[in-house]
Structure 1
Amino acid sequence: MTSPEPTVETDGPPRPPDADVAALFDAVATEHAVIYGYGFVSAHSLPENNKLVSGAMAEHRERREAAIEMLEERSVDPPLPAAGYELPMEVDNPTDAANLAVRMEEDAAVAWRAVLEQATSSEYREFALKALTQAAVATARWNKVLGATPVNEPFPGGTEQ
């Protein structure tokens, strides 16, 4: 998993006690890690995948910023991004980059599914469902780049088969 835990200790805001807000807080931390990881994906991807990379990065940044606004509306300080994160694999070539992208999108799906499951408001549910769907679509696109089949999972973000 792309760890939303920074590789060095940071002094950041505490995780909120309410389950729905805590899940959103965790999803923002995951988005920070995914955005960081896409820098490596970008550096090692083939030129024909540039639009896929830049689109994914923009989507994750927009999602993170919107989620931060949602936290701030509840008077919750969002988690801070770390200077660096531990990648779940070494990235040395385009195949590694695509595999990292799949892994990060799967991690994002897990985080957003948790928000969906914990949500007590329609705003959080709708936002999380959209984010989960976008992560599932991005996973499928990267799996297509890899030539993997099937390109999608029946239940993104979950352990069901």
Structure 2
Amino acid sequence: MRRVGHRQPGPGTVMSDALSQALSVEYATIYGYGIVSAHSRSDVNDLVSQSIAQHRARREAVIEMLTSRSITPPVPAAGYQLPEPVNDPDDAVNLAVRMEQDTATAWRVVLEQTPAGSEGDADRAFAVDALSQAAVLAARWRRVLGVWPQTQAFPGGTE
């Protein structure tokens, strides 16, 4: 999704920039799940709820990570433009898959930009967990669609 009314965060390190960008993707994903929820079939309500809860928890954790380093986290955009219209349950599930792919990509960037070292090791572990969770959610949403393969060999990448 594309941010509307986006303001860039202040200067920082490559790592903090990657974390800030991942946080922005989390904001967009949380917004998008509101759309998914409105158009989903009732049999996927639990999956929608679990997905939103994961992203909200991750959002809060990243905000804490940034603020603990005296970095001002970016704020959510004033609005988001969906990549395509969502008019029915299949569109909603396709949006969920796309958001999880975007989330995996953002966390893969964090993983690639994280330096070695004690703080870096904790950041890498967090990024691996976030990437893995996004990949699992994407697979669960693909299963709802009935598409194959349900998993991706290298989540967050183009390989």
- TM-score, scaled relative to structure 2: 0.94
> Which residue number in structure 2 is paired with residue 8 of structure 1?
5
Amino acid in the other structure paired with 2:81:
E
Distance 1:71 1:141 in 2: 30
> Which residue number in structure 1 is paired with residue 150 of structure 2?
151
Query: Any conservation in 1 of the 2:142–2:148 contact (CA below 8 Å)?
Result: yes
For residues 85-141 of structure 1, give each alpha carbon's deviation from its aligned partner in whole angstroms, at most 9, with x where no partner exists.
Answer: 011010000000000000000000000000011112001100000000000000000
Distance 2:110 2:153 in 1: 19
Residue ranges of structure 2 left out of the alignment (5+ in a row): none
- 1:9: Cα distance to partner? 4.6
Relative distance call for 1:142 and 1:22 in structure 2 (3 A) is: same
> Which residue number in structure 1 is paired with residue 17 of structure 2?
22
Aligned 1:30-109 pairs, distance under 5 A:
30-109=25-104
Q: Determine helix, strand or coil for the equivalent of 1:85.
A: strand
Distance 2:123 2:59 in 1: 13
Distance 1:45 1:126 in 2: 32
Q: Determine helix, strand or coil for the equivalent of 2:81.
A: coil
Distance 1:117 1:99 in 2: 27
Query: Any conservation in 1 of the 2:6–2:78 contact (CA below 8 Å)?
Result: no
- 1:73: Cα distance to partner? 1.0
Distance 2:83 2:153 in 1: 24
Equivalences, count: 155
Q: Percent of pairs identical after alignment?
A: 55
Instruction: Quote the RMSD (CA, aligned, Å).
Output: 1.1
- 1:159: Cα distance to partner? 1.2
